[in-house]
Structure 1
């Protein structure tokens, strides 16, 4: 088992035991570990998905602690990164495709969060436009 996997498991276990500061620490450590590994192999989808999951875990943790601004921030970080990767033409087509597909994974929690916690009209409009663009750009598989 990889170090990042152990850290995520420990974070989840701590979260389930309501040891939230410890869970937060484990999630941050997992993110650091994943970022380092992902930099070395940016096309590794498993690392990418784990990285996104770690951020989403932190968002849930902050929401649980009634810190919606922090929760929203940790949902935005992977979403913004996927938007950037999907637009960078120096990346391989495979990486751009994975980033584009990942936008949907990062966008849905943002939209759900904005329904529970008031967002400014501009933010909500931007998220809805992004949702329409992401859905329109998904390739059709036959």
Structure 2
């Protein structure tokens, strides 16, 4: 299916509340707020950003901060701050990297590992609420389109 490319008039971002950038930011902020609210209501003392780092470690434990930053699409100072918070909460630990004395490997603690099922369930709840009324195909299309927009601006 070859779609006709939009014209400059089609992309004109006014009125502001109908512009793509506004809609994306507004949606991302509300989704983050919903996630943080669900975490708080469940009595879990972490944020959505901290949840994201834990999620990456559940996928592959023992990553370096640089690897985590790249995979999370965050800058290294932000990830370093998040890791310090998670370490202070006893959810991760730092171990020297045997391959590079200047670096560390981030490992889940038993407490960090034990949160996996509960936090993944909360993530599912959050996305179910956010995607209410959308079909599986619509969700797949939305993800595909968002990834294409992201690639265009990267």
TM-score (norm 2): 0.29
Higher relative contact order (CA 8 A, sep 6+): 2
Which protein is richer in helix relative to its size? 1
Q: Which has the larger radius of gyration?
A: 2
Which protein is richer in strand relative to its size? 2
TM-score (norm 1): 0.30
